[in-house]
Amino acid sequence: MGSNYIKTKDGVEIFYKDWGKGQPIVFSHGWPLSADDWDAQMNFFLAHGYRVIAHDRRGHGRSTQTESGNDMEHYAADLAALTEALDLHDAIHVGHSTGGGEVAHYVARHGLKRTAKIVLISSVPPVMVKSKSNPEGTPIEVFDGFRQALLANRAQFYLDIPTGPFYGFNRPGAKVSQGTIWNWWRQGMMGGSKAHYDCIKAFSETDFTDDLKKIDKPALVMHGDDDQVVPYKDAGVKSAEILKNATLKIYPGFPHGALTTEHETINADLLEFIRK
Protein backbone atom coordinates (compact mmCIF):
# COMPACT_ATOMS: atom_id res chain seq x y z
CA MET A 1 0.00 0.00 0.00
CA GLY A 2 0.97 3.64 -0.19
CA SER A 3 -0.29 5.19 -3.39
CA ASN A 4 -1.53 3.71 -6.63
CA TYR A 5 -4.14 3.95 -9.38
CA ILE A 6 -7.29 2.11 -10.31
CA LYS A 7 -8.83 2.21 -13.77
CA THR A 8 -12.57 2.77 -14.12
CA LYS A 9 -14.88 1.09 -16.64
CA ASP A 10 -14.57 4.10 -18.96
CA GLY A 11 -10.78 4.02 -18.83
CA VAL A 12 -10.12 6.83 -16.33
CA GLU A 13 -7.18 6.39 -13.97
CA ILE A 14 -8.01 7.40 -10.40
CA PHE A 15 -5.07 8.14 -8.11
CA TYR A 16 -5.40 7.20 -4.45
CA LYS A 17 -3.41 6.98 -1.23
CA ASP A 18 -3.94 4.04 1.10
CA TRP A 19 -2.09 4.07 4.40
CA GLY A 20 -2.27 1.94 7.53
CA LYS A 21 -4.49 -0.85 8.80
CA GLY A 22 -7.71 -1.03 10.77
CA GLN A 23 -11.18 0.36 10.09
CA PRO A 24 -11.05 2.32 6.82
CA ILE A 25 -11.75 6.05 6.69
CA VAL A 26 -12.25 7.30 3.13
CA PHE A 27 -11.85 11.01 2.39
CA SER A 28 -13.45 12.83 -0.57
CA HIS A 29 -12.01 16.27 -1.32
CA GLY A 30 -13.55 19.53 -2.47
CA TRP A 31 -13.34 21.42 -5.77
CA PRO A 32 -10.80 21.96 -7.35
CA LEU A 33 -8.38 20.28 -4.97
CA SER A 34 -6.95 16.79 -4.44
CA ALA A 35 -6.38 14.10 -1.84
CA ASP A 36 -3.59 16.30 -0.44
CA ASP A 37 -6.22 18.58 1.11
CA TRP A 38 -6.70 15.87 3.74
CA ASP A 39 -3.08 15.82 4.97
CA ALA A 40 -4.00 16.94 8.49
CA GLN A 41 -6.69 14.24 8.77
CA MET A 42 -4.74 11.43 7.06
CA ASN A 43 -1.78 11.75 9.40
CA PHE A 44 -3.95 12.21 12.51
CA PHE A 45 -6.13 9.14 11.94
CA LEU A 46 -3.21 7.02 10.76
CA ALA A 47 -1.55 7.76 14.11
CA HIS A 48 -4.77 6.69 15.87
CA GLY A 49 -4.77 3.24 14.27
CA TYR A 50 -7.07 3.68 11.30
CA ARG A 51 -6.61 2.81 7.65
CA VAL A 52 -6.84 6.10 5.76
CA ILE A 53 -7.68 6.39 2.07
CA ALA A 54 -8.03 9.47 -0.11
CA HIS A 55 -8.36 9.72 -3.88
CA ASP A 56 -8.09 12.44 -6.49
CA ARG A 57 -11.48 12.89 -8.18
CA ARG A 58 -11.44 12.37 -11.96
CA GLY A 59 -10.08 15.51 -13.62
CA HIS A 60 -8.42 16.59 -10.35
CA GLY A 61 -4.93 16.17 -8.95
CA ARG A 62 -3.05 13.17 -10.34
CA SER A 63 -6.08 11.43 -11.85
CA THR A 64 -6.82 11.54 -15.58
CA GLN A 65 -7.64 15.02 -16.91
CA THR A 66 -11.01 13.98 -18.24
CA GLU A 67 -12.89 15.75 -21.01
CA SER A 68 -16.22 14.07 -20.20
CA GLY A 69 -17.90 12.36 -17.27
CA ASN A 70 -17.27 15.26 -14.93
CA ASP A 71 -20.54 14.86 -13.03
CA MET A 72 -21.82 13.37 -9.78
CA GLU A 73 -22.93 10.14 -11.43
CA HIS A 74 -19.36 9.40 -12.51
CA TYR A 75 -17.80 10.73 -9.29
CA ALA A 76 -19.95 8.36 -7.24
CA ALA A 77 -19.28 5.45 -9.60
CA ASP A 78 -15.54 6.12 -9.38
CA LEU A 79 -15.70 6.03 -5.59
CA ALA A 80 -17.66 2.78 -5.82
CA ALA A 81 -14.98 1.34 -8.09
CA LEU A 82 -12.31 2.31 -5.58
CA THR A 83 -14.10 0.82 -2.57
CA GLU A 84 -14.71 -2.39 -4.51
CA ALA A 85 -11.11 -2.61 -5.75
CA LEU A 86 -9.84 -2.21 -2.18
CA ASP A 87 -12.66 -4.45 -0.85
CA LEU A 88 -13.60 -1.94 1.84
CA HIS A 89 -16.24 -2.80 4.43
CA ASP A 90 -17.47 -0.99 7.55
CA ALA A 91 -15.99 2.18 6.06
CA ILE A 92 -16.41 5.71 7.33
CA HIS A 93 -16.84 8.17 4.45
CA VAL A 94 -15.84 11.77 5.06
CA GLY A 95 -16.53 14.44 2.44
CA HIS A 96 -15.65 18.12 2.30
CA SER A 97 -17.60 20.59 0.14
CA THR A 98 -18.06 18.93 -3.29
CA GLY A 99 -16.74 15.74 -1.70
CA GLY A 100 -19.71 15.74 0.64
CA GLY A 101 -21.98 15.55 -2.38
CA GLU A 102 -19.87 12.74 -3.76
CA VAL A 103 -20.17 10.84 -0.46
CA ALA A 104 -23.97 11.27 -0.34
CA HIS A 105 -24.38 10.20 -3.97
CA TYR A 106 -22.04 7.20 -3.55
CA VAL A 107 -23.46 5.88 -0.28
CA ALA A 108 -27.10 6.23 -1.35
CA ARG A 109 -26.61 4.64 -4.78
CA HIS A 110 -23.72 2.21 -4.34
CA GLY A 111 -22.35 1.94 -0.83
CA LEU A 112 -24.96 1.42 1.87
CA LYS A 113 -23.80 -2.14 2.59
CA ARG A 114 -20.12 -1.17 2.74
CA THR A 115 -20.56 1.97 4.86
CA ALA A 116 -20.65 2.32 8.65
CA LYS A 117 -20.92 6.11 9.07
CA ILE A 118 -20.70 9.29 7.04
CA VAL A 119 -19.38 12.79 7.76
CA LEU A 120 -20.23 15.90 5.76
CA ILE A 121 -17.91 18.88 6.34
CA SER A 122 -18.87 22.27 4.86
CA SER A 123 -20.65 20.23 2.21
CA VAL A 124 -22.82 21.19 -0.75
CA PRO A 125 -25.92 19.01 -0.11
CA PRO A 126 -28.84 19.16 -0.31
CA VAL A 127 -28.55 21.61 -3.26
CA MET A 128 -26.65 24.88 -3.64
CA VAL A 129 -28.23 26.81 -6.50
CA LYS A 130 -31.18 29.12 -5.89
CA SER A 131 -34.49 28.07 -7.43
CA LYS A 132 -38.23 28.22 -6.75
CA SER A 133 -37.90 25.11 -4.60
CA ASN A 134 -34.70 26.40 -2.95
CA PRO A 135 -35.23 30.16 -2.53
CA GLU A 136 -32.47 30.45 0.08
CA GLY A 137 -29.88 29.08 -2.35
CA THR A 138 -26.97 30.82 -4.07
CA PRO A 139 -27.93 32.60 -7.32
CA ILE A 140 -26.79 30.93 -10.56
CA GLU A 141 -24.98 34.16 -11.45
CA VAL A 142 -22.42 33.41 -8.73
CA PHE A 143 -21.51 30.11 -10.37
CA ASP A 144 -21.53 31.72 -13.82
CA GLY A 145 -18.96 34.12 -12.38
CA PHE A 146 -16.83 31.16 -11.27
CA ARG A 147 -16.91 29.78 -14.81
CA GLN A 148 -16.02 33.12 -16.35
CA ALA A 149 -13.11 33.64 -13.96
CA LEU A 150 -11.80 30.13 -14.58
CA LEU A 151 -11.79 30.65 -18.35
CA ALA A 152 -10.33 34.15 -18.15
CA ASN A 153 -7.38 33.38 -15.86
CA ARG A 154 -7.53 30.14 -13.91
CA ALA A 155 -4.16 30.68 -12.22
CA GLN A 156 -5.22 34.05 -10.79
CA PHE A 157 -8.68 32.77 -9.85
CA TYR A 158 -7.04 29.94 -7.92
CA LEU A 159 -5.02 32.48 -5.96
CA ASP A 160 -7.99 34.72 -5.25
CA ILE A 161 -10.15 31.97 -3.71
CA PRO A 162 -7.76 30.82 -0.94
CA THR A 163 -6.47 34.34 -0.34
CA GLY A 164 -10.05 35.48 0.22
CA PRO A 165 -13.18 33.55 1.18
CA PHE A 166 -12.09 29.90 1.33
CA TYR A 167 -10.11 30.14 4.58
CA GLY A 168 -11.63 33.39 5.80
CA PHE A 169 -8.31 35.13 5.25
CA ASN A 170 -10.30 38.16 4.06
CA ARG A 171 -11.72 38.67 7.55
CA PRO A 172 -10.29 41.39 9.84
CA GLY A 173 -7.66 39.97 12.16
CA ALA A 174 -7.36 36.66 10.27
CA LYS A 175 -4.11 34.76 10.76
CA VAL A 176 -3.08 34.37 7.13
CA SER A 177 -0.88 31.44 6.08
CA GLN A 178 0.84 32.06 2.74
CA GLY A 179 1.86 28.41 2.58
CA THR A 180 -1.79 27.33 2.87
CA ILE A 181 -2.70 29.69 0.03
CA TRP A 182 0.05 28.35 -2.22
CA ASN A 183 -0.83 24.76 -1.38
CA TRP A 184 -4.43 25.39 -2.45
CA TRP A 185 -3.13 26.94 -5.69
CA ARG A 186 -0.76 23.99 -6.25
CA GLN A 187 -3.51 21.45 -5.85
CA GLY A 188 -5.92 23.35 -8.08
CA MET A 189 -3.44 23.84 -10.91
CA MET A 190 -2.60 20.12 -10.96
CA GLY A 191 -6.08 19.32 -12.27
CA GLY A 192 -7.66 19.78 -15.68
CA SER A 193 -9.38 23.05 -16.55
CA LYS A 194 -12.19 21.33 -18.51
CA ALA A 195 -12.97 19.00 -15.61
CA HIS A 196 -12.91 21.87 -13.15
CA TYR A 197 -15.22 23.93 -15.35
CA ASP A 198 -17.73 21.06 -15.58
CA CYS A 199 -17.50 20.35 -11.85
CA ILE A 200 -18.90 23.80 -11.03
CA LYS A 201 -22.24 22.65 -12.48
CA ALA A 202 -21.94 19.30 -10.67
CA PHE A 203 -21.43 20.80 -7.23
CA SER A 204 -23.87 23.69 -7.59
CA GLU A 205 -26.84 22.19 -9.43
CA THR A 206 -26.99 18.54 -8.33
CA ASP A 207 -29.90 17.92 -5.95
CA PHE A 208 -28.86 15.42 -3.26
CA THR A 209 -32.16 15.46 -1.36
CA ASP A 210 -33.18 11.94 -2.40
CA ASP A 211 -29.69 10.63 -1.62
CA LEU A 212 -29.82 12.04 1.90
CA LYS A 213 -33.27 10.49 2.45
CA LYS A 214 -31.90 7.03 1.60
CA ILE A 215 -29.00 7.17 4.06
CA ASP A 216 -29.81 5.69 7.47
CA LYS A 217 -26.23 5.38 8.73
CA PRO A 218 -25.03 7.54 11.62
CA ALA A 219 -24.04 10.89 10.16
CA LEU A 220 -22.08 13.87 11.45
CA VAL A 221 -22.70 17.20 9.73
CA MET A 222 -20.04 19.83 10.48
CA HIS A 223 -20.26 23.41 9.22
CA GLY A 224 -18.78 26.78 10.14
CA ASP A 225 -21.20 29.66 10.48
CA ASP A 226 -18.72 31.96 8.68
CA ASP A 227 -18.55 29.74 5.59
CA GLN A 228 -18.44 32.23 2.70
CA VAL A 229 -18.47 29.51 0.02
CA VAL A 230 -21.25 27.13 1.10
CA PRO A 231 -23.68 28.99 3.41
CA TYR A 232 -24.37 26.79 6.40
CA LYS A 233 -28.10 27.48 6.77
CA ASP A 234 -28.84 26.28 3.24
CA ALA A 235 -26.47 23.32 3.45
CA GLY A 236 -25.44 21.80 6.77
CA VAL A 237 -28.62 22.68 8.64
CA LYS A 238 -30.90 21.35 5.89
CA SER A 239 -28.83 18.20 5.33
CA ALA A 240 -29.00 17.32 9.01
CA GLU A 241 -32.78 17.73 8.92
CA ILE A 242 -33.12 15.34 5.96
CA LEU A 243 -30.72 12.61 7.12
CA LYS A 244 -32.39 9.99 9.32
CA ASN A 245 -29.64 9.70 11.91
CA ALA A 246 -27.63 12.93 11.92
CA THR A 247 -25.75 14.99 14.48
CA LEU A 248 -25.27 18.64 13.52
CA LYS A 249 -22.30 20.68 14.76
CA ILE A 250 -22.15 24.37 13.83
CA TYR A 251 -18.82 26.07 14.57
CA PRO A 252 -18.89 29.81 15.34
CA GLY A 253 -16.50 31.74 13.11
CA PHE A 254 -15.14 28.73 11.22
CA PRO A 255 -14.53 29.21 7.47
CA HIS A 256 -15.18 26.88 4.56
CA GLY A 257 -11.67 25.42 4.76
CA ALA A 258 -11.83 24.70 8.49
CA LEU A 259 -10.50 21.16 8.03
CA THR A 260 -7.15 22.88 7.41
CA THR A 261 -7.22 26.06 9.50
CA GLU A 262 -9.06 24.49 12.44
CA HIS A 263 -7.90 20.91 12.01
CA GLU A 264 -7.26 20.27 15.70
CA THR A 265 -10.92 20.92 16.57
CA ILE A 266 -12.27 19.15 13.48
CA ASN A 267 -10.06 16.09 14.02
CA ALA A 268 -10.98 15.77 17.70
CA ASP A 269 -14.71 15.92 16.94
CA LEU A 270 -14.31 13.47 14.05
CA LEU A 271 -12.48 11.02 16.29
CA GLU A 272 -15.16 11.24 18.97
CA PHE A 273 -17.89 10.55 16.41
CA ILE A 274 -16.01 7.66 14.80
CA ARG A 275 -15.31 6.00 18.14
CA LYS A 276 -18.97 6.08 19.26
Catalytic residues: 97, 227, 256
- How many whole angstroms separate alpha carbon 133 and alpha carbon 177? 39
The DSSP call for residue 37 is: G
CB-based contact 72:102 (threshold 8 Å): yes
- How many whole angstroms separate alpha carbon 94 and alpha carbon 213? 18
Respond yes or no on whether the N-terminal peptide bond of residue 165 is cis (omega within 30° of 0).
no
CB-based contact 13:62 (threshold 8 Å): no
Q: Could you tell me the strand order of the sheet in which 2-7 lies?
A: 2-7, 13-19, 51-55, 24-28, 91-96, 115-121, 219-224, 246-251
DSSP letters along 13-46, please?
EEEEEEE-SSSEEEEEPPTT--GGGGHHHHHHHH
- How many whole angstroms separate alpha carbon 120 and alpha carbon 250? 12
As beta bridge partners, residue 19 has 52
- How many whole angstroms separate alpha carbon 25 and alpha carbon 90? 9
